[in-house]
Amino acid sequence: MTPTTTTESRHEAAIAARVAAGGLALYTVTRILGVAFASASMASSVSQAIAAEWGAGRLGVTWSDPAEPLPSTGAMAKRAAIGAACGAAAAGVLVGLALATRAAILDPPQGPPSWSLFLLGLLGAGLTAMRDELILHGITLRALGSLASPVGRALACGVTSAAAAAGDPSVTPRLVAAHFLLGSALGALWVRDRGAWLAWGAHTSFLFVLGTVFGGGAGQLRIAQGSFGGGDAGILGGTAALVALAPVFLVALGAVRRKVRHDGHT
């Protein structure tokens, strides 16, 4: 290893340490905001998303590849829409498996659909996804830089997602494992897209489908008790979620590997 290489490695390590420390501080701030606005869910979501955007930006996290020209609004919307389709598909696989295996039962909606419910649900999902993608995944990838392989960076996003889930008082091992699988898949979208739009779109639609569409909008999922359904831990807290998310995880990592091989030959 040459002196120049050693100096560059030390510089990257110093940047990684600074970004990681800043990310931890920012995560703490959003948790405090969540507690402060616990009685006002929308104010909590907005304040945490704003803090995440400002703080992550200060740490060098960008929504698009900084090495490329700034994409047009249409290009950004297209990438978010593609991501949204991926997230909705993943949520559909999870709900479909849960219903097919009786890990959940779908009760019909109480009355006609409320468009305000859908709009507020979509807004809340988008804000939550923005916070988590920037802090849990964007900052993680910024801290790692070139210190890990593309697949390793995606898996690191799974680790931070699992660690964040582990802080919930009602957490179960299966819930932590589900967040690792989901976080890794979303991290893979970051790595493949070199930015946040795909991952943010996927995360938003995943939360929207589970939390709004099947959380009362188009019916209410009742999760079966026991380790397979998840019971009080929710749909992500059971073995059914691990079975459903495992192929999503594998497909996402496979897409990263194919992207790496393709870039290596261009």
Condensed to tens digits (0 to 9), the pLDDT of residues 102-126 reads 999 999 888 777 888 999 999 999 9
Under 8 Å between Cβ of 84 and 204: yes
Q: Tell me the average pLDDT of the chain.
A: 90
Residue type, 242: L
Range of the domain at 51: 3-264
Residue 266 has pLDDT above 60, yes or no: no
- The two counts, helices (H) then strands (E), for the chain are 9, 2
Which of 94-98, 180-184, 251-255, 262-266 comes out lowest in average pLDDT?
A: 262-266
- Helix or strand holding residue 74 (H, E): helix 73-100
Which of 14-18, 40-44, 77-81, 96-100 comes out lowest in average pLDDT?
A: 14-18
Rounded to whole angstroms, the Cα distance separating 126 from 136 reads 15
- Which residues does residue 107 pair with via DSSP β-bridges, in sequence order? 220
- Helix or strand holding residue 199 (H, E): helix 197-208
Q: What is the β-pairing status of strands 104-107 and 220-223? A: antiparallel
Q: What is the pLDDT of residue 168?
A: 79
Average pLDDT, integer, range 208-231: 92
Under 8 Å between Cβ of 33 and 27: no
- Helix or strand holding residue 105 (H, E): strand 104-107
Rounded to whole angstroms, the Cα distance separating 56 from 70 reads 18
Q: What is the pLDDT of residue 68?
A: 86
Rounded to whole angstroms, the Cα distance separating 88 from 222 reads 19
Instruction: Write the Ramachandran bin of 102: left for phi over 0, alpha for psi from -120 to 50, otherwise beta.
Output: left
Maximum pairwise Cα distance, the chain: 70
Residue 230 has pLDDT above 70, yes or no: yes
Q: What is the pLDDT of residue 100?
A: 95
Residue 204 has pLDDT above 60, yes or no: yes
Residue 262 has pLDDT above 70, yes or no: no
- Which residues does residue 222 pair with via DSSP β-bridges, in sequence order? 105
Q: Give the CA count within 13 Å in the CB-facing half-sphere of 163.
A: 13
User: For the chain, how many structural domains are there in total?
Assistant: 1
Q: Is 107 helix (H, G, I), strand (E, B) or coil?
A: strand
Residue 1 has pLDDT above 60, yes or no: no
Under 8 Å between Cβ of 98 and 17: no
- Quick one: which of 16, 253, 237, 64 has its CA closest to 155? 253
More confident residue, 209 or 15: 209
